[in-house]
Chains A and B, each alone.
Chain A
Amino acid sequence: MKILIIEDETDLLEAMVDYLTSEGIICETALTYFKAEDSLSVYSYDMIILDLTLPGGNGLDLIKLIKERNSSAGLLIVSARNSLNDKLTGLDLGADDYITKPFHLAELNSRIKSLARRRFFEGKNELTFNEIKINPDSFEVTVNGEIIDLTRKEYDILLYFMVNRDRVITRESIAEHIWGDNSTFADNFDFIYSHIKNIRKKIEQKKGTNYLHNIYGIGYKFCEK
């Protein structure tokens, strides 16, 4: 998958590129409005990540250009503005998703993957890790071919791990992923602990392996070992 990241903050851009590259995504970058215009008129991308606040022009104008030149590309908007108006205008103009700064890289990755699944696999997009299979369309999880019954939040957490496998996922990032930005519970990690415990138990009940490893009490990593 080849994506274009349009972002004016070099440091943030670098962090995003690092993370996504190691996910096997080919990243190209544009630091300014004009550079983005250039790249968009020459190359085609599977997905475009666009920061709305850009030097040299309004990111919302770029959306029109993207829709003209690269209409098949998925479009994820990044904004520090967090303004509902921007969000609505962006989505109206054809953006697929919207993420607000500051975000967790795992969250960004999860959004990109989810967007890619929706756009390119047309529903036939099971995620598989050894004996564990997730079907995001039917919200079904099977372990060794047997369906396990997860709650909505347990499902969300497992999917989040499956998308961000082999990475340390912090509790903060999980909490925000399932509770949202402004929740009273976003800083309450007890629930995450009990969710993870439940997921492990349910997987092990179907003779599955526990791939969820606790990392120094800062978070979890979903990996072989």
Chain B
Amino acid sequence: MKLLQKTNRTYLILSASAFAIAGLLTYFILSLFIESQLNEKLSDSKVHLINTIERSGIIYTDPPYIEVREEPVVSEIKDFFSDTILFDSSENESVPFRQLTGTSLINGKNYKIIIRNTLIEKSDFLLTIILTTGSVFVLLLLSLYFINKKLSSKIWSPFYSILDELKKFSQENTSFVLTTTGGIEEFEELRSTLNKLTTKVISDYQLLKRFTEDASHEIQTPLSIIQSRLESLIQAPDLTEIQASKIHSAYSASARLAKLTRSMLFLARIENRQYPESEKINLESIVRSQTEFFAEAIRDKSISVEIHSDSECILNANVFLAESLVQNLFGNAIKHSFRNSRIIIEISQESFVISNNGAALLVEPEKLFDRFYKVNSSSDSFGLGLSIAREICKAYNWNIIYIAKETLHTVIIKF
């Protein structure tokens, strides 16, 4: 729920109940007030009537408003007020009255006096109150709504622009700073806190990237020593087979480690954008030269490679990275292809598509791009190949997707 919606809803609920209570209170207070006013008026009328009768001697009646009857009862009734409903023939409907009933001794005779005054009908009365409070309520709501709308678009504008700026945040953008100012203290605070946070995130990220690179560097020299020492050990002429195989297993492990640090370093380099030199590259010629590079592997598995090129694809990129990318995807396709299957490569100005037939994928294709992700955990590979491919694509803002449909695997790069 949006902030404005939420405040409006709260206003609506609160003011609706407040107005309902106010309406009821008005009704009861007004009723009481009118009643006491009427009572007073009726008492006055009675006094006036008695005076008139005393003075003129004429018994004045005006039904249903004034009724005077001679009553033989001597006992004096105290004036009392009551509500009654009488039929008004002129209006042809029942009309509510307030009436005063009392007795009075005038010129020695006892009279019963009833004085009435019309009451406003309760329903009319209620309706009037509902209508008035209702219209005030609607007016108030409308004005609140518009004021809120106006205010929130104005007051909250720095908030929304901070939000817009934040959406563009990326750890790669080292110069990221929120610039919105609106003169509202809370938002200023929000902005400076967020700026501190993003600066921290960016610097941590940079540090981490540096760390990978530095660590890989540092590992390389000791690895060279291990590797070259083991290599010379292998050369010893009087080595037994058992010794040789033990040395070799250590050697293989160090070679694997060397390959791993190299891949990690390569990945870190691409991330750190350390391949800035770029030139115009013909993608098809890279693909063709890679076909030659993999010739034996292709022949070995009896794979047929089809290259379709609709239009010439000229890319502006680093040659080394472009070659690595193609080699990576092509090599993967060959490695995971069935024997006697086909690899189809389609090249156009907008995209590069490579598809092959291999064992069906059991996981989400997107996972394959994760670092160190291996479908088969016993596999010798590090699971960095596709991460490298994606990182290269990222460096040039190309979009890489992997689609697996049963045994058909397709990698699409959109330039």
Contacts and interface: CB of A to CB of B under 8 A. Distances in A.
B362 interface: no
Interface of B: 217, 220-221, 223-229, 231-232, 234-235, 241, 244-245, 247-248, 251-252, 254-256, 258-259, 262-263, 265-266, 269, 274-275, 277, 292, 294-297, 300, 320, 324, 327-328, 331-332, 335, 380-381, 385, 388
B101 to A, nearest CB: 112
**Range, interface on chain A:** 35 or more
Contacts of B225: 9, 11-12, 15
Contact of B381 (A83, A184, A191, A219): A184
A170 B234 contact: yes
A144 B42 CA distance: 147
A84 interface: yes
Given A84-B274, A105-B232, A187-B381, A172 B221 contact: no
Contacts of A9: 221, 224-225
B335 A167 contact: no
Nearest to A187: B380
For A12, A16, A101, A176, the residue with the greatest tally of chain B CB atoms inside 10 Å of its CB is A101
22 contacts: A9-B225, A15-B231, A19-B232, A83-B274, A84-B269, A88-B277, A101-B223, A102-B254, A102-B258, A106-B231, A151-B296, A153-B295, A168-B234, A170-B231, A170-B255, A181-B259, A182-B263, A185-B297, A190-B300, A216-B244, A217-B248, A218-B247
Contacts of A102: 220-221, 223-224, 226-228, 254, 258
A82 B262 contact: yes
A184 B296 contact: no
Given A170-B251, A218-B234, 11 more contacts: A9-B225, A168-B235, A181-B259, A182-B327, A182-B328, A185-B331, A187-B380, A187-B381, A191-B300, A218-B248, A219-B248
A225 B366 CA distance: 53
Contacts of B259: 181, 186-187
Interface in A89-144: 100-106
Contacts of B297: 185, 191
B276 to A, nearest CB: 9
A12 B232 CA distance: 11
Given A84-B275, A184-B331, A12 B224 contact: yes
A-B residue pairs, 5 tightest by C-beta? A184-B331, A15-B228, A102-B224, A218-B248, A172-B255
A173 B255 CA distance: 9
